[in-house]
Amino acid sequence: MNALLRIDPRGLVLPVGLLVLAEVFARATNLQSDALAPPSDIFVSGIAALADGSMLYATWQTLANAGFGLAIGFSIGMALGILMGLFAPLNRLLEVTVEVLRPIPSVALIPIALLVYGFGHRLEFSIVAFATMWPALILTRSAIAGIEPRLIEVSRALQLSLSARIFKIVIPAALPRIFVALRLGVGISLIVAVTVEVTTNPMGVGYKMMEASQALRPGLALAYLVWVGILGWAVNGLMLLIQKHLFGPAANIEARL
């Protein structure tokens, strides 16, 4: 197994131990709760939801919304980050605007987006795009600022056009750090997508989790919660594999970020 995804067995001791204790406690006390369930019930509920396809369909909705929103937000953020990194006057012009808008929680925009788009995919796209745009912008701008100045001087000496300078010099030099921004954005997109579904949008894993909770099915609700954690782990592992494939040994350092 790839070193980036290798699990130290010692790391499983605590979670497995907690699961065993939770199961023993639930059975010993004959747990009756609208919010909690024994681990065995959570497992059975999760397997049943996978078997009937409801969990897989909800997962597809969540990942599609998160992915499309990420594509929009990251593209805008990276483009602005490159321009702000290359042109100091533009950076100074937009600095205050960025620092004012960046701290706004993405979920705070849900009421506005709901009025504009209503329920559905576009609502989720817009919130995810807003959330993922800022790490892309900030880290890309930082990556551009860290490029060796002589590379920029060489591109000017060769009289490269702006587009040629960006695609032949700037992006290749900054790509490892830009990819770190992409990894961060992937995690944020999944978190925000599930949050929007839990609070507002009637689709995806988050909505299914709330639906199960309101139906007083804690085993199923917690199964969806565990499933979200598994999805996050799997997506991050995939990004680590891609990172190592693209950047080789240098990814071992970046992977710790």
* pLDDT exceeds cutoff 60 at 2: no
Q: Is the pLDDT of residue 1 over 50?
A: no
Residue 5 lies in a domain: no
Buried b (16+ CB within 10 A) or exposed e, 172-183: ebbebbbbbbbb
Owner of token pair 């702000």: 84
On whether residue 39 sits in a domain, the answer given is no
| Both tokens assigned to 118 | 């209503």
- pTM summary value: 0.81
Domain count, the chain: 1
Please report, for the domain that includes residue 105, its CATH number: 1.10.3720.10
How many other CB atoms are found less than 10 A from the CB of residue 40? 14
Cα 32 off chain centre by: 35
Indicate whether 251 pLDDT > 60.
no
Q: Are 71 and 125 in contact (CB under 8 A)?
A: no
Residue 120 within any structural domain of the chain: yes
**Residues 66-123: tens digit of each pLDDT:** 999 999 999 999 899 888 888 888 888 888 888 888 888 888 888 888 888 888 888 8
Residue-wise pLDDT for 194-215, tens only, equals 999 888 888 889 889 888 888 8
Enclosing domain of residue 208 = 56-254
Would 161 be classed as within a structural domain?
yes
Residue 84 lies in a domain: yes
Q: What is the pLDDT of residue 7?
A: 63
Q: Which two tokens stand for residue 169?
A: 């010099």
